[in-house]
Amino acid sequence: MYDAEDRQWWYAGMRAISLALLRPQVAPGARLLDAGCGTGRNLEEFAGWARTAGVDLSEEALRFCRQRGVPATRGRVQALPFPAGAFDAVTSFDVLYHRWIEDDAAAVAELARVMRPGGVLLVRVPALKMLWGAHDAAVHSRHRYTTREVRALLEGQGLQVVRISYANTLLFPVIALRRLLDRLTGREGSDVGFLPAPLEWAFGSLLRLEARLLPRVTFPLGASVFALARKPGDASRR
């Protein structure tokens, strides 16, 4: 992940989509937590306009965060080591789906706890059970979600969904075919890695196009779900 996150088409494209959805909702200098921050690449991106903090369970991930020079603390998403209302914005990218998250509703409740009233949460999870494949097993997936499930998960913890859509939609036929071939051939292992340069450029360009469209276009299906939600309350209070 650390080697791929800067340039690989999926990571760079998903980062572009995240920024397109999040930045209009978050004021410069806001306090932002990335819950399940991994190697810290998103924190590095957010640091240009927000006061960032990260949390991750993996000591190896935290070592990479230190190498990047971004602040991150060891902890569990289900029991965040921060006081209530500490952050203006919280992000959680491909965390809630993981086998370590035995109760995703409890995890969302904890994310909401550390948000101030009026704060925002941006969540990304893998989508659609039909896309289950070798990559899911390799990265210890527990579940792939529908937008309906994600909406119910967020609203069930008292959050107001502002925007929800599938993403990685333009490449959906390619991804679905890859998953089918995985099942037919018995291929194992993660999809993380680099493609030939022309494909890296083409696939990345399609995700960057989605980043421009997603703030106002809702896609009917895709390989990921993005959801932006707000915690009820007075947005002016700190």
Nearest CA-CA partner of 195 in 1, 38, 13, 10 = 10
All residues at 6 or more sequence positions from 51 whose CB lies less than 8 Å from its CB, including other chains:
29, 30, 31, 32
The residue count for the chain: 238
pLDDT for residue 189 is more than 70: no
The confidence score (pLDDT) of residue 87 equals 98
Residue 235: predicted pLDDT: 55
Burial of 113 (0-12, 13-18, 19+ CB in 10 A): middle
The residue-averaged pLDDT of 80-86 equals 97
What's the angle, vertex CA 167, arms to CA 16 and CA 209, rounded to 5? 50
Q: How confident is the model at residue 132 (pLDDT cuts 50, 70, 90)?
A: confident
The per-residue pLDDT for range 202-215, each reduced to its tens digit, is: 999 999 999 999 99
Instruction: Report the candidate in 130, 108, 103 with the shortest Cα–Cα distance to residue 121.
Output: 108
pTM: 0.93
The secondary element (H helix, E strand) that includes residue 100 is none
Q: Which of 68, 145, 80 is nearest to 113 (CA)?
A: 80
Q: What per-residue confidence (pLDDT) applies to 28?
A: 93
Task: State pLDDT tens for residues 13-56.
Answer: 999 999 999 999 999 999 999 999 999 999 999 998 999 999 99
Residue 67 has pLDDT above 90, yes or no: yes
Domains and CATH numbers, the chain: 9-230 (3.40.50.150)
User: Higher-confidence residue: 192 or 205?
Assistant: 205
CB 102 within 8 A of CB 224: no
More confident residue, 197 or 134: 197
The pLDDT, as a whole number, for residue 237 is: 43
Does residue 140 surpass a pLDDT of 90?
no
